[in-house]
Chain A
Amino acid sequence: MKPPPFDYHAPRSVGEALETLADVGEHGKVLAGGQSLIPMLNMRLAAPGHLVDINRLTELATLDVEPGGVRVGALARHAQVERSEEVAAAQPLLRQALRLVAHPVIRNRGTVVGSLVHADPAAELPAVLAVLGGSVRLARPGTVRDVPAAGFFTGILESAAEPGELAVSAFFPLLPPRSGTAFREVARRHGDYALAGVAALVGLDDDLRITTARVACVSVGPAPVLVDVTEACGHRPPASADWASAARAVQERTAPEADIHATADYRRHLTGVLAQQALRDAAREALDA
């Protein structure tokens, strides 16, 4: 469990990092928190010729609450985002989800942007980006592009970030007024990747009737499964919403696979249970908002 040989680069500026990444092209890999990449190197599941370590790029360790949303720089650690009161006030779903990501020591190193680029179908943050309709900003020398969540997660461990590109930040939109969020999951052990998990967003109108209800599910497809259940809930107040039919609508959209920890049926069942719980929780928050 030692990595194969690679060249190590430690750029001092974003510009230098972009140049290096452009130079090494498809032989390069960005090293952020290393919580996913280093195990893959050690198990020789990945063998990039070049590692471009971005940990010295303090200019990327940013966390800004902007008028439209929260912008998280590529070097902002899970823990930093999780603990920010300002972020929690602006976009509570980030903290709700981050508490379920791994363990504190891993959150001290792992980055939010790294987690998005890594695109693990069991990871929480891709679901958060998906349900909020956020985006990731990708850069290469001279160009920057923003890729919306809907197009960012392209497959199991695959994202729209191309070789040579650096994800510099991610953007999580603020909640509209009278909205609430929740994250519910079941993991085998505390802090494990979830067997199933649901991020939910519920928005109400001035009469406190449901106008938006959507969920993003983890571990039930190659990428977060985004389902709009506004219709299924009915244009009703939360107390009389048909959560069960919403949950059924979610289940119908999932195509989980069996693995050594759970059958596909169980995952689908859990997704229904969790969707209902998460939607109720989110609606309760919306009422309190």
Chain B
Amino acid sequence: MTTKLFGEPVRRREDPRLLTGQGRYLDDLGGDALAAAFVRSPHAHARIRDIDVSAAIDVDGLVAIYTWEDLPALLAQPLPLLIPHPALTHGRTAHPLARDVVRHVGEPVVMVVARDRYLAEDACALIRVDYEILKPVVGVEEAAQSAQLVHDDVPGNVGAHLVQEVPSAAGLGAREAIDAAPHTLAFRLDIERSASMPLEGRGVYARWDADDRSLRVYTSTQTSTSVRMAIAAKLGLPLPKVEVIAPDVGGGFGVKIVHPWPEEVLVPWAAILLGREIKWAEDRREHFVSSAHERAQVQSVRVGFDDDGRVLGLEVNILHDHGAYTPYGIIVPIITSTQLLGPYKIGAYRVEFSSIYTNTVQVTPYRGAGRPQAVFCMERTMDHIAAHLGADRTAVREVNFIRPDEFPYDQGLIFQDGRPLIYDSGDYPESLRMLKELIGWDSFPEAKARAAAEGRRIGIGIGCYVEGTGVGPYEGGHVQITSDGRVHVSTGLTSQGQGHETVFAQIAAAELGVPLERVSVVTGDTRRFGYAVGTFASRAAVMSGNAIALACRKVKEKALRIAADALEAAPGDLEIVDGEVRVLGAPGASIPLATVAVLSNPLRYAFDEEAARATQFAGTPAFDRPPVEEGQEPGLEGRDYYSPLRSTFASGMHAAIVETDPLTAEIRILRYAVVHDCGNLINPMIVEGQIHGGVAQGVGGALYERMVYDEHGQLLNASFMDFLMPYATEIPLVETAHLQTPSPLNPLGIKGAGEAGVIPVSAVIASAIEDAEGIGIDRMPISPSELFDLRRAATGRSTSET
């Protein structure tokens, strides 16, 4: 790599566009399209007796009303269960429009198409659905014990049940190892629901071209290629006649990887039927009650350990709240079960989860995807052990760490990708050392004592995690150099603001030796790249980054071969600098990549100067060879795929200092420190941005956000008024340090960074509050009101002191 671009804090190229209103999000498109709106169930559990649309028919501007009965055979089926698993014995998915029974507030029942969204909502308000109300099942523990069923044919509301067990080196099972341990502890942990909550909701805009018999769909998705396949399958269209494009997407954080959403098939279907453009842009209330949530789990932990805090056996039982349906399978609880082990060597491990249906919005991955719960469990366990032994919390972690010379380290479990959970690289002791230094761990007791002398309460907390990133199966990249010298990079996965345009351009520019400005990047457009998986699991940089690097290497090889001919030099003696192929050690002997691109195509109509110089009569052709030789292709382009053996394992450790107000019980984060290891850094500024955003979401999950369902299954806080997403004012300055242990698994030596920031935050804040207050924290998030209750319970006093 000649141009030093890889590893540089290059400014995000997408920002000027996005920050000055030049972005094109879903609702910026299709200004003339008809609007769709939905009648959604107001009940958590009910049987539909009748739908009366007569009053809505008169609404001026109404175009169409559809119910389940109107759907063609393929669409009338339940939506696909995307990721089946043998343990998911009772997977259930919803119909695009409810058939007979609704199972959560917000489930779509009727689709209305009208001239604009105002009129569509007016019509919705006039449609009368007659429901027979059924008893709802709310709360994961209630559902696990309830005789009431979410799905009649799912006994006990158990959708899936899975046990994984890794015996100790001596062959002991976890239960035996715990029973035999010098110390044992048992406790229960509780984590509530939150949600991805992208600022741009979901949205779909479909155009049917009746002349061409082709469909173009814009959708605010994390996977346009898979939405395309789903639409083709569900609407019975030939795949080549369907194009799906993710325009600028205002955040996804997991919820937009689910596909197809009912709206993603219904809107295109109606567009074809009506021969009109149709758009649906989700509003915030719809997003709260009809997309997806995550996080809620109840965990029972039993742990056995020795006098040093070394874990000899760990047993975890998880009740996972899956909501009403399981379209995305059981990825979340699988990740919780497997990533729970973190950076530690656990003697013997047994994990069991039951995934339980409730009459609430379905649960699918949200940034972190089961890891925040896993880390909460393991890190609370470490803190419990330290408290029991009276040991320093970092010392207990240290004795349990996997050592740097033990990689690759096999945890003996099966990971989310169905492949063995083998860590590729890492240096956990060094990471801890850096973190302690960054936050001032060893001198904190003095600071705490000083604060106490002033009547203030402060506490410090820590949390460590390992994150499987860059899961397969593959991603591809296509790179084309055109005769103007520009480099066009495309990959099939999508962007939601992460900075892919910048990072992928950096990789391409560095690989090809061209200036960054000459590289343009397109993501998530099936017209440009048809095969892809999607953006989730911190995989974009690892998967598409490496695929693009490999595609660039193919193009470079071809460019050097053509240039070698032209320059009468051996390809091995050439380098590309600043977009020019040069002969090493021979200044002046060079040829621009633009010219190489012209030479790569034997058809040279003289569109421009460059081509005019290279038409077939300009040079001396070789008459003994065909213009395009066997095994060659015209043009200077390359396509390649990257498909890894296994996931890469990024890691990190966070620490925080919090202050709790002795009177008001308000909780304030004074400092937040992060040591982060995602292998080689492509762009440290972008990695830090990802960490900051992740920490912000983590702070939301730790102190502010929850989905409050009442016993009727009504979501009581379905607006930004009452769902407390933190503002910038609630987010501390995040201090970061990077450790780089390259991944041996991929050519660039990188690991994923997209989710890391969010993962340990609840564990860290709980640890810090516990330290400040001397009161055990076993459920998150925590509010001042709850801390007030915990204090009262701890002191046993019932009157409030003022």
- Chain A contact residues, CB within 8 Å of chain B: 1-5, 39, 43-44, 186, 188-192, 195, 244, 247-248, 251, 260-263, 265-266, 268-270, 272-274, 276
Contact = CB atoms under 8 A, between A and B. Distances in A.
Contacts of A189: 704, 724, 726-727, 729-730
Given A43-B719, A188-B704, A269-B801, 17 more contacts: A1-B121, A1-B284, A1-B285, A4-B121, A186-B784, A188-B784, A189-B726, A189-B727, A195-B784, A244-B802, A260-B716, A260-B717, A261-B722, A261-B724, A262-B783, A268-B800, A272-B800
Interface of B: 117-118, 121-122, 125, 283-285, 663-666, 704, 708, 716-717, 719, 721-722, 724, 726-727, 729-730, 783-785, 788-789, 800-802
Given A191-B727, A244-B802, A248-B802, A269 B788 contact: yes
Contacts of B121: 1-2, 4, 44
A266 B785 contact: yes
Contacts of A273: 663-664, 802
A11 B625 CA distance: 84
B783 to A, nearest CB: 7
Given A188-B724, A188-B783, A273-B664, A265 B800 contact: yes
B664 A2 contact: no
9 contacts: A2-B117, A3-B118, A5-B118, A192-B724, A260-B717, A260-B722, A261-B722, A269-B801, A273-B663
Contacts of A260: 708, 716-717, 722
A3 B121 CA distance: 9
B343 to A, nearest CB: 33
Given A1-B283, A1-B284, A276 B664 contact: no
Contacts of B802: 244, 247-248, 251, 269, 272-273, 276
A190 B285 contact: no
Nearest to A246: B802
A45 B765 CA distance: 38
Contacts of B118: 2-3, 5
A288 B784 CA distance: 34
A158 to B, nearest CB: 20
Nearest to A193: B721
A4 B664 contact: no
Contacts of B285: 1, 43
B327 to A, nearest CB: 25
A192 B717 CA distance: 14
Nearest to A277: B663
Given A1-B284, A43-B285, A263-B789, A269 B800 contact: yes
Q: Most B CB atoms within 10 A — which of A189, A248, A266, A272? A: A266
Contacts of A276: 802
A2 B119 CA distance: 9
Nearest to B718: A43
B664 to A, nearest CB: 5
Contacts of A247: 802
A244 B663 CA distance: 13
B607 to A, nearest CB: 50
A4 B122 contact: yes
A210 to B, nearest CB: 18
Contact of A263 (B708, B724, B785, B801): B785
B802 to A, nearest CB: 4
Nearest to B788: A266
Contacts of B726: 189
Contacts of B717: 260
A103 to B, nearest CB: 8
A251 B742 CA distance: 60
Contacts of B708: 260
B788 A186 contact: no
Nearest to A268: B800
Nearest to A250: B802
A247 B716 CA distance: 32
A44 B717 CA distance: 16
A273 B121 CA distance: 46
Q: Most B CB atoms within 10 A — which of A186, A244, A247? A: A186
Nearest to A184: B664
A263 B787 CA distance: 11
Contacts of A188: 704, 724, 783-784
A17 B664 CA distance: 46
Contacts of A43: 285, 719
A5 B285 CA distance: 20
A191 B716 contact: no
A43 B663 CA distance: 37
Contacts of B283: 1
Contacts of A272: 800, 802
Contacts of A186: 664, 666, 784
A242 to B, nearest CB: 12
A45 to B, nearest CB: 11
The 9 closest A-B pairs by CB, nearest first: A269-B800, A190-B729, A272-B802, A262-B785, A1-B283, A266-B785, A2-B118, A260-B708, A273-B663
A110 B719 CA distance: 20
A262 B117 CA distance: 37
A265 to B, nearest CB: 7
Q: Most A CB atoms within 10 A — which of B783, B784, B800? A: B800
Given A244-B802, A260-B708, A4 B284 contact: no
Contacts of B784: 186, 188, 195, 262, 266
A217 B788 CA distance: 20
Contacts of A251: 800, 802
A110 to B, nearest CB: 15
B724 A5 contact: no
A18 B483 CA distance: 71
A39 B722 CA distance: 13
Nearest to A275: B802
Contacts of A2: 117-118, 121
B789 A266 contact: yes
Contact of B783 (A39, A190, A191, A261): A261
A12 to B, nearest CB: 27
A12 B188 CA distance: 65
B70 to A, nearest CB: 24
B661 to A, nearest CB: 9
A261 B783 CA distance: 8
Contacts of B724: 188-189, 192, 261
A248 B722 CA distance: 30
A218 B191 CA distance: 31
A208 to B, nearest CB: 25
A244 B801 CA distance: 9
A261 B785 contact: yes
A204 B388 CA distance: 56
Nearest to B665: A266
B38 to A, nearest CB: 12
Nearest to B719: A43
Contacts of B789: 263, 265-266
A191 B785 contact: no
Contacts of A44: 121, 125
Contacts of A4: 121-122, 125
Nearest to A260: B708
Contacts of A274: 664
Q: Most B CB atoms within 10 A — which of A39, A188, A265? A: A188
A268 B798 CA distance: 13
Contacts of A5: 118, 122
Nearest to B787: A266
Contacts of B666: 186
Nearest to A186: B664
Nearest to A4: B122
Q: Most B CB atoms within 10 A — which of A1, A43, A192, A195? A: A1
